[in-house]
């Protein structure tokens, strides 16, 4: 079994808040990330596919194809967008790195044409990232 990774980047804005909480609670829980008019991140997304090497091609999945799958299903939907308002698969969800990673997983799980989706790693800052493996 071997693991192949495609990295893509995107820039988005978001605001972290829960409409169930009042202003004071949102401020306490989310701090600066609760800024009323949002703020932005340059996200780094890593999609890892695992599988056997196809002896005819030497590939698990053609990385050009994996790139296209990620661009079409994720990047076009999130890049230069407001993650609270513009993205169908995140609508109604607090757009933390955790929730974005799970949303991306759900978008991609059926789209990987060879090999199997293994993990979604999402860097929100240089020092903060989350990883989701479907469970
Ligand atoms: Ni943020």
Which domains, ranges and CATH numbers included, belong to the chain?
A: 2-132 (3.30.479.10)
The CA distance from 117 to 107, in Å, is: 11
Active site residue: 25, 39, 52, 80, which one? Answer: 80
The CA distance from 60 to 2, in Å, is: 8
Confidence label for 46 from pLDDT (cuts 50, 70 and 90): very high
59-117 residue pLDDT tens: 999 999 999 999 999 999 999 999 999 999 999 999 999 999 999 999 999 999 999 99
C-alpha 92 – ligand 1 centre gap (Å):
16
118-130 residue pLDDT tens: 999 999 999 999 9
C-alpha 25 – ligand 1 centre gap (Å):
17
Active site residue: 8, 46, 124, 135, which one? Answer: 124
Average pLDDT, the chain: 97
> Can you give the pLDDT at residue 23?
94
> Can you give the pLDDT at residue 44?
98
| E strand or H helix at 111 | none
Confidence label for 50 from pLDDT (cuts 50, 70 and 90): very high
């Amino acid at each position: 079994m071997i693991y192949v990774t495609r990295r893509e980047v995107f820039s988005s804005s978001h605001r972290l808040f829960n409409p169930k909480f009042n202003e004071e609670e949102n401020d306490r829980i989310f701090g600066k990330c609760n800024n009323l008019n949002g703020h932005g991140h340059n996200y780094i997304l890593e999609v890892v596919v695992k599988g056997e090497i196809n002896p005819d091609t030497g590939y698990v999945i053609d990385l050009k194809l994996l790139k296209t799958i990620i661009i079409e299903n994720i990047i076009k939907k999130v890049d230069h967008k407001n993650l609270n308002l513009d993205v169908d698969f995140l609508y109604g969800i607090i757009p933390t790195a955790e929730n974005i990673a799970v949303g991306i997983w759900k978008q991609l799980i059926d789209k990987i044409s060879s090999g199997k989706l293994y993990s979604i790693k999402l860097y929100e800052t240089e020092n903060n990232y989350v990883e989701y493996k479907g469970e």
